[in-house]
Amino acid sequence: MAKLSVEIVTAERQVLAEQDVDMVVAPGAEGTVGILPRHAPLLTTLRPGVIRIKKGGSETAMAVCGGFFQVIADRVRVLADVAEREEEIDEARAEEARQRAEAALAEATRAGVPAQVEAARTALRLSLARLQVARRRRRQAPL
């Protein structure tokens, strides 16, 4: 069966070394994108959200924000501004970040500054993605 080669990097580090997988699902600029082997070439920006990587019967999730998602010849490259693996996310800190982002969004909306509103929305989306990944990991943890 055909496979995809996937690699995820940020400016600071390699988050996921190149490996063969069955499918990648990512938050693209125009919506969620699912990539299978032999997908047409694609280049899109990333929205804050969750990347899911399926291999065999397992699935791994990562929170991402900003950057680019590229597909060429069964190779998926993610060049993200922020990318965090499941085990790197602290749920309590992510919840605190969500609360701060909601407060910042409310304040920016009251102040009527469009750039601050958009920055606060992005921070809120990233914190929600982190919470989703952390809660997913908790649900999958053995008892």
What does the pLDDT look like over 20-38, one tens digit per residue? 999 999 999 899 999 999 9
pLDDT tens-digit profile of 84-127?
999 999 899 999 999 999 999 999 999 888 999 999 999 999 99
Q: Are strands 58-72 and 49-55 parallel, antiparallel or unpaired?
A: antiparallel
State the average pLDDT for the chain: 91
Percent with pLDDT over 90 in the chain: 80
How far is the CA of 96 from the CAs of 20, 86, 93, 119, in angstroms?
Answer: 35, 17, 5, 17
- pLDDT top residue among 64 and 142: 64
Structure tokens at 139: 């649900």
- Considering just the CA atoms, what is the radius of gyration of the chain in Å? 16
The CATH number of 4-87 is 2.60.15.10
Global pTM value: 0.85
- pLDDT value at position 141? 56
